[in-house]
Amino acid sequence: MGTWMQNVGQGWLVLQLSNSPWVVGTVTALQFLPFLIFSLVAGALVDRLSKRGLLVATQSLLGLLALALGLLTLSGRVRVWHVALLAFLTGTVQSFDNPGRQAFIVEMVGREDLMNAISLNSSVFNGARLIGPAVAGLVIGRAGVGWAFVINAASFLAVIAGLLLMRLERPAQVPVHASLVKEVVGGLEYVRKTPLVLVTTLLIGVISTFALNFNVLMPVFVRFTLGSGPETLGYLMSALGTGALSGALVLAYLSRRGPRRELLLGGGLVFSLGVTLLGTLHRFATAFALLLVTGFAMIIYTATSNSTIQVTVPNQLRGRVMSLYVMVLNGVAPLGSLFVGWLAQRWNAGAGFLVGGAVSLAAVLAAVALRRRWDPDLRPVPAVGGSRARGGVA
């Protein structure tokens, strides 16, 4: 919840300081740029280090950075460059935290419960997405944006305590003989030679770049299209979270069947279409209703993408492959943030939603059209014993 309060507060603060959608996009880009720079190396380190120890360190640093931004804001000395610098440092820490968190799930629950755990984790994450922005809107409107950052900083104490209280079986350590560079290359080679993982990763990269830009576009949409304030921003972001929470709970119920490509592609189609339609709206009520549906489809798509990769990748490559997933999910986002920020500056927030949603929709439709080439569930099994059979079993 604290992180969602910070996300909403940061966008609103930058818009207050600069009155420029493009600057909001630039600061968001700086926060996600470190994922592009550090994620692959971070993944190799995750495979070598204690994941819980890594998470305790990263969560402590994130709490300190949030506190610094809160104190600067409350003192009245905050400037755009302060927010931009702290956003970059936050992104740097998160580029190590995120792949560690992804790889840590299997150590907690094991492979047999992995998809269910990912779905339940998404439920918690999106329950926070539901409550955090609404609380942020109220806090910003009544006490000031600086308190949103201070509350976020305090919330990390609970996270760190939870990590320290866990009792885990120590996983067997596999001796590492290769250099860090060779380990990174090995992870990339695995993804390149595994079509299901490759297409899932590429698709999440396109959608995260062009369609997952709510932190940039929603403050602009609320202020200039709807003519409203931070409370409205909080309500709309909570609508997105409500839909996402519902989708996560449905996915947790369906998890015993394993990750299904129909959910992956269907969720991507509905989400991309929802983002596209959002660019045509000018009323709060219709935007609220559409964000409920869009949030539902978003989590169906993103959680199924995550679980598809997690159940496919071997344990010894998990950190490296998930770091690549995190990199394309967050690391290429700076390009999208700058692009949609420019569109919103040149025209309006609707243009950012329209163009980003349309590009994502085209990517999903291409994956559907080419599904037989990458989906092992649709690959034909060669006949055994026929004139063309060469022996072996598919």
pLDDT of residue 288: 93
pLDDT above 60 for 389 = no
pLDDT above 60 for 147 = yes
Residues 290-301 have a mean pLDDT of 91
- Residues contacting residue 110 through CB under 8 Å, at least 6 positions apart: none
Q: How confident is the model at residue 122 (pLDDT cuts 50, 70, 90)?
A: confident
Mean pLDDT of the chain: 82
pLDDT of residue 190: 86
Helices 284-312, 80-109: axis angle to 10 degrees equals: 50
pLDDT of residue 390: 35
pLDDT of residue 174: 53
Least confident window among 83-92, 140-149, 235-244, 370-379:
370-379
Q: How confident is the model at residue 212 (pLDDT cuts 50, 70, 90)?
A: confident
pLDDT of residue 321: 83
Mean pLDDT comparison of 120-124, 283-287, 349-353, highest-scoring range: 283-287
Q: How confident is the model at residue 171 (pLDDT cuts 50, 70, 90)?
A: low
Residues 203-219 have a mean pLDDT of 84
pLDDT of residue 150: 94
Distance CA 309, CA 311 (A): 6
- Is-contact 275 357, C-beta < 8 A? yes
- Is-contact 235 129, C-beta < 8 A? no
pLDDT above 80 for 393 = no
- Is-contact 364 272, C-beta < 8 A? yes
- Between the CA of residue 192 and those of 201, 224, 227, 324, what are the distances in Å? 10, 44, 47, 11
Q: Which residue has the tokens 């600067």?
A: 72
Q: Which residue has better confidence, 180 or 308? A: 308
Residues 47-74 have a mean pLDDT of 92
Q: Which residue has the tokens 């931009």?
A: 84
- Residues contacting residue 65 through CB under 8 Å, at least 6 positions apart: 86, 89, 90, 93
DSSP 202-267: HHHHHHHHHT--HHHHHHHIIIIIS---HHHHHHHHHHHHHHHHHHHHHHHHHGGG---HHHHHHH
pLDDT of residue 102: 79
Tokens of 29: 């880009």
pLDDT above 70 for 208 = yes
Domain boundaries, the chain: 2-166+180-373
- For residue 130, which of 349, 305, 288, 357 has the smallest C-alpha distance? 288
Residues 289-311 have a mean pLDDT of 88
The CATH superfamily of 2-166+180-373 is MFS general substrate transporter like domains (1.20.1250.20)
Residues 149-170 have a mean pLDDT of 89
Helices 2-18, 114-142: axis angle to 10 degrees equals: 40
pLDDT of residue 331: 66
DSSP 272-335: HHHHHHHTT---HHHHHHHHHHHHHHHHHHHHHHHHHHHHHS-GGGHHHHHHHHHIIIIITHHH
pLDDT of residue 297: 93
pLDDT of residue 152: 93
pLDDT above 50 for 163 = yes
Q: Tell me the per-residue pLDDT of 11-48, one tens digit each, with 9 for 90 and over.
A: 889 988 988 877 887 888 788 888 888 877 887 788 77
Tokens of 25: 């996009």
